[in-house]
């Protein structure tokens, strides 16, 4: 008949038989778990993130320079992300950062700073001159403390690319949160600066300074030429003055056309008057009419010449009386002679007045011609001025075009000069890598974590204590109870001595230190 084994009974049997060993091992691990958070060195984790954006490639060839969308953007690849990570974890960059912080007294302990303050002057002013005087070889002194801090910082600094993203995570473990935060901040700043120095293909800074001075001198020369051109032309705004002159030319030409029409009309009338005056002088005694009224038209209103009208009427009356008298008297009579003398005098007076009017018309015509000549000269002067201003304006446009081109080139070189100095790179304006999350000083330590260490330590101690109890039971071949004799030797048990164990009572008050110590020894 097969016997059914009771595993729970066996487990409890081994547990209670070796309870002292299991209890002591568990208590030892419990003490260790409670002391670990107090013994282990606290470590704070300072985190930051860097994002690597798409790279901008400027297309500046002749085919795409006039198109608005000429820039190309390339997303960062895995190789780019690995390159950025390598730049961040570079020991040279870390050493430079620690050196800067240590020189500023913001990294390392005070003892190391005091040792440097005492050792460096002694080395520089005593040891090195003495070795030089003795002719000994002066070996460069390596800063071992900086090397040690750099090595430790490389171990404590963890840089990794977040999976499936273009973000680089920076985690630095430090015992001093303030010092670690300063270190990560300075590391990111140096990273941006060194990244520009590594990836930039700009020309040296002296080149930009020389080009900047050259462009400034060229701009000053062009501005001086522009100013001299305007002063030589006696103009401040040639374009506006050309517009004004053209309007003046238009006005003068309209007035000139009116004067020319008036002069042509006056010339024809003057020729007509002169011809009729000659005919009137050659006429007979009884020819008393003159074919012109000598009326002046002002604003479409005709005004008669009263003197000419009165003399003409008087001459007409005398001629009429002479005709009446000639019917009564003979031609050689005294009345006829008197009438003829009156007609001759009136006729001479009339022709004299007509001649004066012709002279006035001649003078008016001369004045009109002089006005026409003056206006023509003025128009020619305006046209000459406009032509000169147009030439000046053309030269100014050429100068303005060159000045604008120089302004753009000067701006480009100035921008590149500022980029080379790295001033705008620190702000992340010109780089495709930017700080996504700035480091901040943590308020709680990342290690050790008591709430995690103590439960895990207690559980581990319990499991290890039970395992040690079973291992001890496996190698212990002694009989622990009478039933084992029959099981293993197949012999009956006749008598058992001291089978009943008297329980030991803890004499101390419960949950005191004495009670716990007595319980642990049992």
Residue 319 to residue 234: CA distance in whole angstroms: 71
Among 210, 135, 141, 105, residue whose Cα is nearest residue 420: 210
What pLDDT score was predicted for residue 125?
A: 61
Over the stretch 40-83, which tens digit does the pLDDT of each residue have? 677 788 889 988 887 665 544 444 444 444 556 677 888 888 88
Low-confidence ranges of the chain (pLDDT < 70): 1-7, 9-13, 17, 40, 55-73, 108-143, 197-207, 285-305, 416-431, 446-448, 477, 479-481, 498-506, 516, 518-522
What is the pLDDT of the chain when averaged over all its residues?
A: 76
Residue 201 to residue 31: CA distance in whole angstroms: 62
What pLDDT score was predicted for residue 290?
A: 67
What pLDDT score was predicted for residue 203?
A: 53
Q: Which residues contact 411 (CB under 8 A, 6 or more apart)?
A: none
Residue 166 to residue 84: CA distance in whole angstroms: 10
3-class state of residue 290 by DSSP: coil
Q: Which tokens belong to 115? A: 């040792």
Element (H, E) at 52: strand 44-52
Over the stretch 157-211, which tens digit does the pLDDT of each residue have? 999 988 888 899 999 988 888 888 888 888 888 888 877 766 554 455 666 777 7
Among 316, 383, 386, residue whose Cα is nearest residue 350: 316
Q: Where are the alpha helices (DSSP H) in 332-435?
A: 334-421, 423-426
Residue 386 to residue 380: CA distance in whole angstroms: 10
3-class state of residue 113 by DSSP: helix
CA 147 to chain centre: 41
Q: Which residues contact 435 (CB under 8 A, 6 or more apart)?
A: 48, 49, 50, 51, 188, 192, 428
CA 183 to chain centre: 30
Q: Which tokens belong to 65? A: 């320079």
For residue 281, is the peptide bond before it cis, meaning its omega torsion is within 30 degrees of 0? no
Q: What is the end-to-end Cα distance of the chain in Å, rounded?
A: 41
What pLDDT score was predicted for residue 374?
A: 92
């Amino acid at each position: 008949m097969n016997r059914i084994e009771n595993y729970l009974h066996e487990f409890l049997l081994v547990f209670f038989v070796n309870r002292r060993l299991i209890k002591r091992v568990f208590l030892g691990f419990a003490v260790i778990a409670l002391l670990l958070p107090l013994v282990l060195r606290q470590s704070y984790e300072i985190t930051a993130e860097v994002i690597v954006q798409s790279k901008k490639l400027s297309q500046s060839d002749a085919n795409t320079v006039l198109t608005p969308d000429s820039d190309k953007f390339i997303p960062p690849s895995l190789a780019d992300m690995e390159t950025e990570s390598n730049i961040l974890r570079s020991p040279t960059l870390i050493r430079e950062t620690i050196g800067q912080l240590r020189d500023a007294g913001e990294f390392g302990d005070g003892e190391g700073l005091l040792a440097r303050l005492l050792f460096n002057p002694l080395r520089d002013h005593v040891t090195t001159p003495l070795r030089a005087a003795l002719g000994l070889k002066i070996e460069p002194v390596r800063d071992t403390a900086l090397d040690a801090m750099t090595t430790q910082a490389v171990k404590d600094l963890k840089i990794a690319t977040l999976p499936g993203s273009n973000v680089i995570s920076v985690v630095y473990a430090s015992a001093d949160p303030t010092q670690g935060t300063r270190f990560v901040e300075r590391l990111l700043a140096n990273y941006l600066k060194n990244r520009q120095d590594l990836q930039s293909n700009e020309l040296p800074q002296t080149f930009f300074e020389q080009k900047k001075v050259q462009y400034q001198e060229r701009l000053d020369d062009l501005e001086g030429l522009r100013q001299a051109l305007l002063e030589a032309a006696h103009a401040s705004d040639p374009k506006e003055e050309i517009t004004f002159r053209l309007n003046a030319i238009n006005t003068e030409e309209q007035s000139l056309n009116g004067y020319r029409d008036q002069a042509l009309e006056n010339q024809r009338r003057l020729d007509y008057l002169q011809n009729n005056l000659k005919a009137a002088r050659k006429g007979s005694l009884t020819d008393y009419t003159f074919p012109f009224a000598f009326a002046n038209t002002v604003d479409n209103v005709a005004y008669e010449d009263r003197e000419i009208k009165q003399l003409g009427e008087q001459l007409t009356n005398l001629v009429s009386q002479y005709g009446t008298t000639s019917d009564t008297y003979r031609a050689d009579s005294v009345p006829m002679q008197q009438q003829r003398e009156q007609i001759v005098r009136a006729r001479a007076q009339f022709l004299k007045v007509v001649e004066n009017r012709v002279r006035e018309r001649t003078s008016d015509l001369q004045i009109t011609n002089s006005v026409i000549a003056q206006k023509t000269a003025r128009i020619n002067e305006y046209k000459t001025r406009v032509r000169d201003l147009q030439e000046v304006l053309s030269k100014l446009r050429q100068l303005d075009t060159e000045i604008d081109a120089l302004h753009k080139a000067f701006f480009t070189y100035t921008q590149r000069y500022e980029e080379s100095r790295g001033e705008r790179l620190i702000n992340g304006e010109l780089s495709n890598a930017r700080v996504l999350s700035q480091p901040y000083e943590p308020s709680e330590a990342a290690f050790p974590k008591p709430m995690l260490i103590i439960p895990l330590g207690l559980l581990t101690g319990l499991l290890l204590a039970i395992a040690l109890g079973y291992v001890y039971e496996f190698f212990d071949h002694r009989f622990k109870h009478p039933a084992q004799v029959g099981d293993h030797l197949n012999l009956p048990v006749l008598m058992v001595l001291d089978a009943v164990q008297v329980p030991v009572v803890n004499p101390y008050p419960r949950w005191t230190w004495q009670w716990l110590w007595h319980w642990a020894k049992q």
